[in-house]
Amino acid sequence: MAVRDAVVEKTIMALLDGRKYKTLKEMLATMNPADIAAVFEKLDRERIPILFRLLPKETAADAFAELDPATQETLIVGFSDTELREVVSELFVDDAADLVEEMPANVVKRILAQADPQKRREINEILRYPENSAGSIMTTEYISLHPDETVAQAIERIRKTGVNKETIYTCYVTEGRKLVGTVSVKDLLLTRDDDAPVSSIMDGNVISVGTLTDQEEVAQTLSRYNFLAMPVVDTDGRMVGIVTFDDAMDVIEEETTEDIEIMAGITPSEKTYLRSNALDLFKHRIPWLMLLMVSATFTSMIITGFESALAAQVVLTAFIPMLMDTGGNSGSQASVTIIRALSLGELEFRDLPGVVWKEIQTAVLCGVALAALCFLKIMTIDRLLLGNSAITPMTAFVVCTTMAVTVLIAKVVGCTLPMCAKKVGFDPAVMASPFITTIVDALSLLVYFGITSALLFR
Amino acid sequence: MAVRDAVVEKTIMALLDGRKYKTLKEMLATMNPADIAAVFEKLDRERIPILFRLLPKETAADAFAELDPATQETLIVGFSDTELREVVSELFVDDAADLVEEMPANVVKRILAQADPQKRREINEILRYPENSAGSIMTTEYISLHPDETVAQAIERIRKTGVNKETIYTCYVTEGRKLVGTVSVKDLLLTRDDDAPVSSIMDGNVISVGTLTDQEEVAQTLSRYNFLAMPVVDTDGRMVGIVTFDDAMDVIEEETTEDIEIMAGITPSEKTYLRSNALDLFKHRIPWLMLLMVSATFTSMIITGFESALAAQVVLTAFIPMLMDTGGNSGSQASVTIIRALSLGELEFRDLPGVVWKEIQTAVLCGVALAALCFLKIMTIDRLLLGNSAITPMTAFVVCTTMAVTVLIAKVVGCTLPMCAKKVGFDPAVMASPFITTIVDALSLLVYFGITSALLFR
């Protein structure tokens, strides 16, 4: 894919340089809107309008919808009113609403001025809903049928009105705007009785989401039921729009990236990596780094408290990184697993006792195995091979016991915190590695020095 | 959703207890296969066959396909040959192939014996392809049209043959089995000229994947082009099957979970968290914990090498956790961002120089900001507030310089390793937090002691 992209890109640049517009036009006519958009993203600003004017009309709107906001703005600024009207009229309502949301006020004014009154009303409708809600990502273009229509009438209606609808394959049966059933084009086509009423073949057991449902839940529900589109209804059960599967796939990708970023201690960003500059990256990364650095004050306080013990037996210091890292890794294994299960809807708060019990069992298995291996490692590699005679079996025992206890604490903290965060309405992803590591560090040091004091310095 | 599930579950249990089979049957007839499957997963083994026999025939096969392998096996073992034949004949070929892959040999034998010869051949066809390839997840049921057919003939053909095809909405135009174009049912329906040949309305600019293409790439390509289904062709360009959007969504979910698990140092598992017992979790978590623990030998060696310096100034030890954690966090921010961008196809190896340069700039910004804050924190909190008089401005300076250098190293290592891993064919996700942390720990200690020796112990 990528290699082909690079070749296409080079060819287009060369054709642009040589002003071979006819060839370019023919070439662009064979290309898919997503591929065309990818080429646009790599063009110099001044060449974008030239290339755009060479696109076939239908492709132009589809490619436009796939562009990133900066490129869209460049284009709109260069558009004549006629050009703008053409693009806006070809855009699906949800894409038009996205556009209006991203553009600066003066550009928005021009866009709305060029939209026909019907479209303008629909765009404003979508913009009324809070960000990330079903209402804000839905499109108001869908096919609605009446339960008393016959199959033949329904097919005829689709053939007449379908051209502007984002998906025609699932039709929504409404009665007084209330959603009472769905019927697929497949069922319509495969029904041999043209005179049967739509109500006789529709699926009356409707699954829908509310306008305020979170977009992530919308996408997951659609994926669960393998729907082509998810109907969105208002609080009175009246049909207001649909969210199509391709938008749901984008939502899933976006939300997953956000989860992964938060888990790594990064404030989520809407820009892709290549489009972010160093300052953007800095702004999204520094808050957690600062917070975590300052919270490391606890670990230094603990170490300072045991200064004399450490001064007497410096060998104890050598194992601090290993203990802290093993604790951190154990904890993040648990927290990341739980966070993913929560975001896939596999776990709920009521599962907490079972989860904790399972993590305790796992921790005991891991702790014992690690402690045994660690003892072996310390006595052979560290003591014999590296000849560190300060290491006694007692030291090794203290380190290994600490390790087992740390793993236990880490796993329990790692599974409990994300579930509690979810319960009180925080994003569980915040409770991932960096956060867990900081807590587990402090706890593992306390355990270490506690056991050391009890066994080595009696 | 979850609350409703719990209510439905309780109602069904109560109806089963009361042997109200008629009511149950009516209730099940209104439910969606995915919801029915969710109820099955929570039933006792002996009740599963009872409930299954109450399902309407069409729903039964759909719900069966959604069950997890263990439940499927319980059901098949209890099926009569006739029941098994009915379910197998209703399953889509790709679901049947998945089933055959998951079941033990004796069950597979029974399944294949009950499949009709055509289906058996198609199942075996799919099973020939390597795991996670397009061939292994595709279905061989799609609608193919001939370029010379008229629109009316094509619609008639779909109406006759469509019932067994997994998706009818995109039809594939083939000539001597070679894929020459695609045409959507939407275009067929909206064309007003019934006598136009299919070739005149088809999109001849076909995008397809090969049978051996990795399933993740298949899903991403489908998502990029917003396709309902992705055609799969063999090396000679002959059409062999399609991958539908719902299967692509499942692949994306699965691959993302796998990425996230690997990033947290967990060997990926196919079982969900709730279905894994402690031993499963242990087996998937212990390898990385052991590997990372043993590799911590380097950090202890480094610390042991500087034993005398640490014994002289124990205050230096107190900052080790903070330096290590900040390094680890900085590194994992970079590596996780890069890994995600790689898996979304946003970055390629040729972007490496640009990425490294951007990370260096970001690291300088983060490093300077952190060092400044750290100096402030050490001099106020640690020295004044906590009264640790062993801390001199020189100590603070050494710690802060180490921090800035560590952040720089961490970011560069964090962005470089995943890209190089990808280049040589490893999974970049392996180069995430745990791995980066171990490397950065050792490097940050070397920097710390290097700077300490140069500045404090001249």
Please tell me the distance from the alpha carbon of residue A250 to that of residue A143, in angstroms, as a whole number.
Answer: 23
B297 and A377: CB-CB below 8 Å? yes
Chain A: nearest CA to B29, how far in angstroms? 9
Over residues A366-410, the pLDDT tens digits come to: 999 999 999 999 888 878 887 777 788 888 999 999 999 999 999
A66-80 average pLDDT score: 87
- SS3 string of A75-142? HHHHCCHHHHHHHHHHCCHHHHHHHHHHCCHHHHHHHHHHCCHHHHHHHHHHHCCCCCEHHHHCECCC
Question: Which tokens is A66 given?
Answer: 């796939």
Residues whose CB falls within 8 Å of the CB of residue B41, separated by 6 or more in sequence, listed in order = B67, B68, B71
A261 and B340: CB-CB below 8 Å? yes
pLDDT band at A458 (very low <50, low <70, confident <90, very high): low
Q: Is the pLDDT of residue B3 over 50?
A: no
B296 and A381: CB-CB below 8 Å? no
Average pLDDT over all residues of chain A = 87
For residue A25, the model assigns a pLDDT of 87
A108-123 average pLDDT score: 84
Nearest CB among A260, A344, A441 relative to B321 is that of A441
For residue B5, the model assigns a pLDDT of 65
Place of tokens 């790599």: A42
| A189 vs B270: which has the higher pLDDT | A189
Chain A residue closest in CA terms to B244: A226
For residue A1, the model assigns a pLDDT of 42
B286 and A374: CB-CB below 8 Å? no
Please tell me the distance from the alpha carbon of residue A103 to that of residue A111, in angstroms, as a whole number.
Answer: 9
Chain B residue closest in CA terms to A257: B340
Torsion angles phi and psi, residue A145, rounded to 5:
-120, 165
B310 and A307: CB-CB below 8 Å? no
**Which residue of A220, A304, A408, A440 is the best one to mutate when testing the B interface, meaning the one whose CB has the most B CBs within 10 A?**
A304
For residue A86, the model assigns a pLDDT of 85
Q: Report how far apart, in Å, the C-alpha atoms of B53 and of each of B25, B33, B44, B60 are.
A: 9, 14, 15, 8
Please tell me the distance from the alpha carbon of residue B38 to that of residue B51, in angstroms, as a whole number.
Answer: 13
B318 and A330: CB-CB below 8 Å? no
Classify the phi-psi angles of B377: left when phi > 0, otherwise alpha if psi is within -120 to 50, otherwise beta: alpha
Helix B278-295 to helix B297-305 angle (10° resolution) is 30
- Asked which of A45-49, B144-148, B324-328 is least confident by mean pLDDT, the reply is A45-49
Beta bridge partners of A183: A171
Q: Is the pLDDT of residue B179 over 90?
A: yes
Place of tokens 């590695």: A433
Question: Which tokens is A221 given?
Answer: 């529900």
For residue A262, the model assigns a pLDDT of 87
Are B167 and B93 in contact by the 8 Å Cβ rule? The answer is no
Please tell me the distance from the alpha carbon of residue B358 to that of residue B333, in angstroms, as a whole number.
Answer: 13
B304 and A292: CB-CB below 8 Å? no
Amino acid at B417: L
Burial readout B302-327 (b: 16 or more C-beta within 10 A, e: otherwise): bbbebeebbbebbbbbbbbbbbbbbb
Question: Which tokens is B70 given?
Answer: 């263990």
Q: For the CA atoms of A5, A6, A8, A14, what is the dihedral angle to 10 degrees?
A: 160
For residue B224, the model assigns a pLDDT of 87
For residue A35, the model assigns a pLDDT of 85
pTM score, two decimals? 0.80
Residues of A in contact with B319 (CB under 8 A): 300
Q: All domains of chain A, ordered by start, with CATH? A: 2-128 (1.25.60.10), 144-253 (3.10.580.10), 296-455 (1.10.357.20)
pLDDT band at B458 (very low <50, low <70, confident <90, very high): low
Over residues B214-264, the pLDDT tens digits come to: 999 999 999 888 899 999 999 888 898 999 998 899 899 888 988 888 888
* Furthest C-alpha separation in chain B: 94
Q: What is the CA radius of gyration of chain A?
A: 30
Q: Is the pLDDT of residue B4 over 60?
A: no
Are A36 and A55 in contact by the 8 Å Cβ rule? The answer is yes
State the DSSP code for B130: P
For residue A386, the model assigns a pLDDT of 77
Percentage of chain A lying above the pLDDT 90 cut:
25
B348-370 average pLDDT score: 93
Residues of A in contact with B225 (CB under 8 A): 32, 34
- Please tell me whether residue B95 adopts helix, strand or coil conformation: helix
Percentage of chain A lying above the pLDDT 70 cut:
98
B318 and A311: CB-CB below 8 Å? no
Cβ count within 10 A of residue B88: 26
Place of tokens 């969606």: B32
Residues of B in contact with A289 (CB under 8 A): 326, 329-330, 333, 366, 370, 407
For residue B191, the model assigns a pLDDT of 86
For residue B375, the model assigns a pLDDT of 92
Q: Cα B128 vs. chain centroid, distance in angstroms?
A: 23
Cβ count within 10 A of residue B30: 11
Q: Is the pLDDT of residue A181 over 90?
A: yes
Residues of B in contact with A192 (CB under 8 A): 159
B2 and A348: CB-CB below 8 Å? yes
Q: Is the pLDDT of residue A292 over 80?
A: yes
pLDDT band at A418 (very low <50, low <70, confident <90, very high): very high
Over residues B373-420, the pLDDT tens digits come to: 999 998 888 788 877 777 888 889 999 999 999 999 999 999 999 999
pLDDT band at A412 (very low <50, low <70, confident <90, very high): very high
Over residues A297-342, the pLDDT tens digits come to: 888 888 888 877 777 777 888 888 889 889 988 998 999 899 988 8
Amino acid at A442: A
Q: Is the pLDDT of residue B364 over 90?
A: yes
Are A264 and A433 in contact by the 8 Å Cβ rule? The answer is yes
Chain B: nearest CA to A82, how far in angstroms? 27
Q: Cα B18 vs. chain centroid, distance in angstroms?
A: 42
Question: Which tokens is A405 given?
Answer: 């206890």
Q: For the CA atoms of A256, A260, A263, A266, what is the dihedral angle to 10 degrees?
A: -110
Nearest CB among A248, A294, A320 relative to B377 is that of A294
Q: What is the CA radius of gyration of chain B?
A: 30
Q: Is the pLDDT of residue A78 over 90?
A: no
Q: Are strands B229-233 and B209-210 parallel, antiparallel or unpaired?
A: parallel
Nearest CB among A248, A292, A386 relative to B325 is that of A292
Q: Is the pLDDT of residue B1 over 80?
A: no
B274 and A341: CB-CB below 8 Å? yes
Burial readout A309-324 (b: 16 or more C-beta within 10 A, e: otherwise): bbbebbbbbbbbbbbb
A189 and B205: CB-CB below 8 Å? no
- Please tell me whether residue B182 adopts helix, strand or coil conformation: strand
Q: Report how far apart, in Å, the C-alpha atoms of A416 and of each of A259, A336, A337, A351, A445 are.
A: 18, 11, 12, 11, 20
Over residues B186-214, the pLDDT tens digits come to: 888 888 788 999 999 998 888 999 999 99
A105-116 average pLDDT score: 84
Torsion angles phi and psi, residue B30, rounded to 5:
-90, -5
Average pLDDT over all residues of chain B = 87
Beta bridge partners of B230: B243
For residue A3, the model assigns a pLDDT of 46
